[in-house]
Amino acid sequence: MSTVPSNHPYYKELEIASIAVMRTSILTKELSDSIATTQKSGTHTKDDKSPVTIGDYASQAIINHAIKLNFPEDEIVGEEDAEVLRKDNAEGKDLSAKVLEIISDVQSQTSQYNDRLGKLENEAEIYDSIDLGNSQGGSKGRFWALDPIDGTKGFLRGDQFAVCLALIEDGKVVLGVIGCPNLPATVISNEEMSGTKGGLFSAVRGVGSFYSNLFDKQDFTPLAEQEKIKMTQHTSPESLKVVEGVEKGHSSHSTQSQIKDKLGFNNETVSKQTINLDSQVKYCVLAKGQADVYLRLPISDTYREKIWDHAAGNILVYESGGLVGDIHGNELNFGNGRHLNSQGVVAGNKSVFKKVIEAVGDVLQA
């Protein structure tokens, strides 16, 4: 089966997820461009010092509201809660006003979606919608995993970030949608990227992975009219490309360098074969066949990934002909709660995945 007919069990889920991600991609793109230009307000700091923007709150509020409206029995595992917004102080009031303003603006811009996504009319509705993301997940039943803005530092730089939404049933990802507002159509290396910016990536279990332009359409495009994407099956060190994160604090770049060396990469060309991108954009580049391997090696033995950071990308790679696992090659378990009970993440095309896992094992055991 290559398309999702209207009677497919996930047709409505795909439509709602797609237009919700499209709406929030418009909002987050405008905000990212504004922040990158002015480098001014719109940020507060969590205890862990990672920046969180009003875009996170607005994006989560919009998507949670759409899910609850259309699938009232479904739970949501979301990254944010409304505690800061609810505070009766200057910060809470200021942030709340900004969130309401940008939500109202994008709802007006995309009024054709209001009948399906609903409208958030006031701050109280926004708080309640954000707090719908309090599910603990688990191995039974059906829930959504949402990262309202994945790649916050890329977002603040005006670089790569993504809006990521996945549907999980009994611990398995069955649908994923990723909006990449700043991703060019063609990615060759860190220095060479070209084409229209903005990609929408979708995957449905057993159906495939698909790509379409994020901003050139006014409504949901059936998968039959989207581009079906496939991973390449390169295996030689000369032809392989690796995607990694930008931030050294998120993965061990030194360990990843040793793994590329173990795989036979040439020291003189390895930098051209390594593409550094924030967020689940990395999975999208992989699924589109523009890279072959994704390395995210653990920075500590105790660190565990959040499920919303990988769920949508996971199904996108599987459905495009790739494999995803932990550092031992085991499948990621999305039924373990809000975290993955595994170390690191490695992805690759089916032809090279085993070889990459072997190299990971050799380096980590050395």
Fill in the amino acid letter for 106: V
Report yes or no: 364 and 345 within 8 Å, Cβ to Cβ. Answer: no
Say if strands 142-150 and 75-78 run parallel, antiparallel, or are unpaired. Answer: parallel
The closest alpha carbon to 156, from 251, 258, 292, 38, belongs to 38
Question: What is the rounded CA–CA span in Å between residue 143 and residue 145?
Answer: 7
What does 80-125 look like in DSSP terms, one character per residue? --SHHHHSSSHHHHHHHHHHHHHHHHHHHHTGGGHHHH----SHHH
Is 227 one of the annotated binding-site residues? no
Is 33 one of the annotated binding-site residues? no
Catalytic residue, candidates 53, 56, 110, 278: 56
Is 88 one of the annotated binding-site residues? no
Question: What is the rounded CA–CA span in Å between residue 350 and residue 262?
Answer: 19
Is 150 one of the annotated binding-site residues? yes
Is 147 one of the annotated binding-site residues? yes
User: Is 232 designated active site?
Assistant: no
Fill in the amino acid letter for 318: Y
Question: What is the rounded CA–CA span in Å between residue 313 and residue 33?
Answer: 24
User: Is 43 designated active site?
Assistant: no
Catalytic residue, candidates 53, 152, 221, 274: 152
Angle between helices 253-262 and 353-365 (to 10 degrees): 120
The binding site comprises 79, 147, 149-150, 309
Active-site residue set = 56, 152
Detail the residues annotated as belonging to a binding site for Mg(2+).
79, 147, 149-150, 309
